């Protein structure tokens, strides 16, 4: 697996965010079958009201707010698993230095996102489980990247996290325009800003003779 394989062709941000709002209809992962609903491990279920379209809404939240929150939780959960690989797998000191505070910040961001989702009265589930979409670090990618060390890991890690940051910023920008809840829009503004900042500070992959691949 190469960096080009990890970096998938980005789709339409507006279409992706719109698709994320169709939670009750389910997302298509390409198999033609409804996705398996995955229970989140960090928050309890909450009752939700339904709009005429079937989308769960509550108070000042609209379907875009909820679709964005669920999409970002799914994306950030996977990105955090990727970031957790860095201490034991990365070679470049710059990659390790960059990843440590970002991993901590993502955990804080996930707490905020889940708190908003609970306030909206929406179950903390993952309708995007197993989906291969722009910005999502898939389970297959995680397994592949986990199987590398040194500069090879750095290259794959940087490609995957770069795509994640790019897509997170784009989706957050769309959420700021189409969302309704003030707190969700403020979080989107922070996500957009921090994603762009982290992207700008992302280290470059460094080739090194010590590159190793785990057997």
Q: What is the pLDDT of residues 12-49, one digit of tens each?
A: 444 455 545 433 333 444 333 333 333 333 333 333 33
Burial class (CB in 10 A: 0-12, 13-18, 19+), 184: buried
- Model confidence at 205, pLDDT cuts 50, 70, 90, reads low
Helices (H), 90-181: 93-119, 139-146, 151-178
Q: What is the pLDDT of residues 56-95, one digit of tens each?
A: 445 689 999 999 999 999 999 999 999 999 999 999 999 9
Beta bridge partners of 39: 125
* Backbone φ, ψ for residue 73 (5° rounding): -60, -45
Q: What's the pLDDT score for residue 113?
A: 96
Longest Cα pair distance anywhere in the chain, in angstroms?
60
Task: Decide if pLDDT at 55 tops 70.
Answer: no
Contact 15, 28 (CB under 8 A): no
What average pLDDT score do residues 124-148 get? Answer: 80
Q: What's the pLDDT score for residue 124?
A: 74
Contact 89, 99 (CB under 8 A): no
Q: Tokens at residue 84, please?
A: 């957790």
The bridge status of strand 125-126 relative to strand 38-39 is antiparallel
- Prediction pTM value: 0.72
Whole-angstrom CA distances from 139 to 24, 77, 91 are 23, 11, 22
Query: What is the overall mean pLDDT for the chain?
Result: 76
Q: What is the pLDDT of residues 90-110, one digit of tens each?
A: 999 999 999 999 999 999 999
Q: What's the pLDDT score for residue 206?
A: 61
Q: What percent of the chain has pLDDT over 90?
A: 59
Q: What is the pLDDT of residues 177-186, one digit of tens each?
A: 999 999 999 9
Contact 49, 121 (CB under 8 A): yes
Residue 189: left (phi > 0), alpha (psi -120 to 50), or beta?
alpha
């Amino acid at each position: 697996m190469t960096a080009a394989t990890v970096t998938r062709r980005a789709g339409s941000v507006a279409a992706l965010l719109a698709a994320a709002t169709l939670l009750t209809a389910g997302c298509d992962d390409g198999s033609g079958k409804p996705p398996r609903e995955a229970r989140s491990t960090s928050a309890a279920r909450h009752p939700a009201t339904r709009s005429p379209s079937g989308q769960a809404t509550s108070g000042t939240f609209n379907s875009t707010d909820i679709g964005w929150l669920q999409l970002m939780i799914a994306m950030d959960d996977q990105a955090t698993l990727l970031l957790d690989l860095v201490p034991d797998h990365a070679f470049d000191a710059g990659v390790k230095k960059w990843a440590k505070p970002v991993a901590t910040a993502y955990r804080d961001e996930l707490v905020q996102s889940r708190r908003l989702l609970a306030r909206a009265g929406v179950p903390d589930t993952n309708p995007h489980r197993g989906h291969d979409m722009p910005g999502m670090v898939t389970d297959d990618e995680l397994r592949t990247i986990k199987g590398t060390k040194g500069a090879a890991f750095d290259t794959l890690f940087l490609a995957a996290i770069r795509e994640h940051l790019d897509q997170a910023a784009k989706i957050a920008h769309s959420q700021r325009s189409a969302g309704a809840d003030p707190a969700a829009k403020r979080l989107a503004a922070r996500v957009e800003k921090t994603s762009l900042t982290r992207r700008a500070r992302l280290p470059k992959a460094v080739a090194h003779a010590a590159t190793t691949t785990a057997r």
